[in-house]
Amino acid sequence: MNKDERLVRQITPKSEDFSRWYVEIVQKAEMADYTPMKGMMVIRPYGYAIWEAIQRLLDRRIKETGHVNAYFPLFIPESFLKKEAEHVEGFSPEVAWVTIGGQEELEEKLAVRPTSEAIIGYMYAKWIKSWRDLPVLYNQWANIVRWEKVTRPFLRTTEFLWQEGHTCHETAEEGEAETLKILALYKEFCETELAIPVIAGRKTLREKFAGAEMTYAIEALMSDGKALQMGTSHNLGQHFSKAFDIKFEDRSQTLQYVWQTSWGMTTRTIGALIMAHGDDSGLRLPPRIAPVQAVIITIPAANWRETVLPVAQKVQAALRAAGFRVDLDAREEYTPGWKYAEYEMRGVPVRIEIGPRDVKSGQAVLVRRDLKTKEIVTLEALPARLPALLDEIQATLLRQAEEFVAANTRAASTYDELKDILETKRGFVQAPWCGAEACEDKIKAETMATIRVLPLSQDGVPVSGGCVCCGAPGKATALFARAY
RNA sequence: CGGGGAGUAGCGCAGCCUGGUAGCGCACAGCGUUCGGGACGCUGGGGCCGUGGGUUCAAAUCCCACCUCCCCGACCA
């Protein structure tokens, strides 16, 4: 066997088989693993650490905007779910039911929550009496079960984790403002923390949440050219308040139904991180959410325990004291080369190599994961250089993703053009749309693409030309894409 | 849920056609030499051959059912 054959190929190249590449990263970076139950995965410590970082950074934003956390039951009585007609119709194909408790058949079966509007709506009716009780701004971090037919780690699993906000307001305007405020919050979160640019917009009626008045979403473009919904924010209007009788006495002493919103972001964002930033060596994590921001790798040689190791330990202590998440890998059973590949797979943003040569010259070698470039830094300069480097990596990942979106967003004015782009290039396609569901359905059937959103950035901008499908006057500029 | 492919050691696979009690590479353990891009040598451990049933003196191998994974569609965060 020659040397090249001995070097085990890490993972399938992204260009060769994207979904295989994706699954291999999930497993080799130890983010998640399959269980014997269909569609149910274990989120392993490394993947869960990413989720904890997402929770920490998103939760802070949710609280800063005045929301508080609470926890509602996992089970929802069937009758509750049935109260809002559109809601039950939309979710019934994917609800799991509990019919037996212990040895006894239940009188009323219980749904394992596919979302919590129903149970929360019931409780809100008990708690809200007056305009003085409003707004109610609750959020919960929870698990959700939806009996999906096709599953994929992080992107679509039977059980997943999310955060769901449920708010009540005095007026329609306040409800709409809340919906948009959260949408903007999500967008800012994705771009600042995950380095994933998103397009914010309205969903069409076809794609809206079952029971919502209007659904807004943020959509990102993965590096295979398919779109992924990163978060949704629903203006529920009075649909659920009427179904659950959530009434309050307003300032003019009239009984009124509250105006509600709900919004969520899920563990799917972890899948988005892989697909937006990963390369053929594995994950590339944005420093702001990376569980490990830098790893120190010692290069052994004779006496290294006396010479190299103490220096490495000192560097780690100094960087940790400065607030960075820094690991030290001084294991002797693996060679440096093996470790380089391993931490690249896991997407650790910065690698710090310290060997005998470095110790002698008082330096360290820094290698950034995003560009794989090296630089030499003196040990004294390291605590100042690391934060700057992490910021550069964060910015580079965002910029690369933005450039990808820009390069893969195209305008189509004819149906042939739309079809051609979706078939040969993928990505986002901007095109005028007449507003008819028939056109939406036809495009979906023939191109597998859907309207991801009607971008908010297009509001007030005149639509150029007729509907890309039927030619009727364009009512909106729609963003089409094949999606996950 | 429809069409296709697959499940044999932790991972990747061979063996199956033509039944006779399981093998390779990597990984893992021990020892030694190594270590600046997945090191090498020697020794060793590990398998209800996805699950259940059937055929047979005998099943990883043949037959049936089910489960799970992957791909392509319909449904969805």
Greatest alpha-carbon pair distance for chain A in Å reads 86
Which amino acid is residue A459, in one-letter code?
D
* Confidence label for A459 from pLDDT (cuts 50, 70 and 90): very high
* pTM for the structure as a whole: 0.95
Query: What is the predicted pLDDT for the residue at A103?
Result: 81
Q: Strand B within 7 Å of which CB atoms in A 454-473?
A: none
Task: Compute the distance between CA of residue A237 and CA of residue A117 in angstroms, rounded to an integer.
Answer: 13
Tens-place pLDDT, residues A371-423: 999 999 999 999 999 999 999 999 999 999 999 999 999 999 999 999 999 98
User: For strand B, which nucleotides have at least one atom less than 7 Å from a protein CB?
Assistant: 1, 26, 28-29, 34-40, 67-77
Scan for tokens 């006396």, then name that residue: A306
A5-19, A261-275, A446-460, A464-478: the lowest-pLDDT one:
A5-19
Flag residues 243-302 of A with CB < 7 Å from strand B.
264, 266-268, 281, 299-301
Q: Which helix (H) or strand (E) holds A266?
A: strand A259-266
Going by pLDDT thresholds of 50, 70 and 90, the confidence category of residue A11 is confident
Mean pLDDT of all residues belonging to chain A: 93
What ipTM was predicted for this assembly? 0.89
Q: How confident is the model at residue A7 (pLDDT cuts 50, 70, 90)?
A: very low
Would you state the pLDDT for residue A5? 33
Give residue A298's pLDDT band: very low, low, confident or very high (50, 70, 90). very high
Cis peptide before A356 (omega within 30 of 0): no
Mean pLDDT of A215-236: 95
What is the C-alpha to C-alpha distance for residues A6 and A4, in angstroms, rounded to an integer?
5
Per-residue pLDDT averaged across A128-146, rounded? Answer: 97
Q: What does the pLDDT look like over A30-63, one tens digit per residue?
A: 999 888 888 888 999 999 999 999 999 999 999 9
pLDDT in tens, A95-133: 999 998 888 889 999 999 999 999 999 999 999 999 999
- The predicted pLDDT at position A8 comes to 41
Q: What b-and-e string marks burial along A214-238, b requiring 16 or more CB atoms within 10 Å of the CB? A: bbbbbbbbbbbbbbbbbbbbbbbbb
Using DSSP, state whether A227 is helix, strand or coil.
Answer: strand
Distance A457 CA to B4 C1' (A): 43
| Å between CA of A332 and C1' of B31 | 15
State, as a whole number of angstroms, the distance between the CA of A14 and the C1' of B36: 29
- Token pair in block for residue A137: 């701004």
Sign of the CA dihedral running A355, A358, A362, A365: negative
Span A325-349, pLDDT tens digits: 999 999 988 999 999 999 999 999 9
Report CA(A306)–C1'(B69) in Å, whole number.
49
Q: Is the CB of A481 under 7 A from strand B?
A: no
Q: Give the pLDDT confidence score for residue A20 in this predicted structure.
A: 87
A155, A319, A390, A391, A449 from A484: Cα distances, Å: 8, 40, 30, 30, 10
- From the number of C-beta atoms within 10 Å of its C-beta (0-12, 13-18, 19+), residue A173 rates as exposed
> CA(A36)–C1'(B53) in Å?
21
pLDDT of residue A4: 33
pLDDT at A35: 85
Cα→Cα distances A407→A15, A324, A400, A403, A448, Å: 17, 34, 10, 6, 21
Separation of alpha carbons A226 and A408, rounded Å = 10
Q: How far is the CA of A33 from the C1' of B68 (A)?
A: 13
Question: What's the pLDDT at A3?
Answer: 30
Asked if strand B comes closer than 7 Å to A63 Cβ, the answer is no
Q: What is the DSSP string of A45-113?
A: HHHHHHHHHHHHHHHHHHHHTT-EE----SEEEHHHHTTSHHHHHHHGGG-EEEEEETTEEEEEEEEEP
More reliable by pLDDT, A15 or A72: A72
Q: Would you place residue A235 in the very low, low, confident or very high pLDDT band (cuts 50, 70, 90)? A: very high
Quote the CA–CA distance of A323 and A314 in Å, as a whole number. Answer: 14
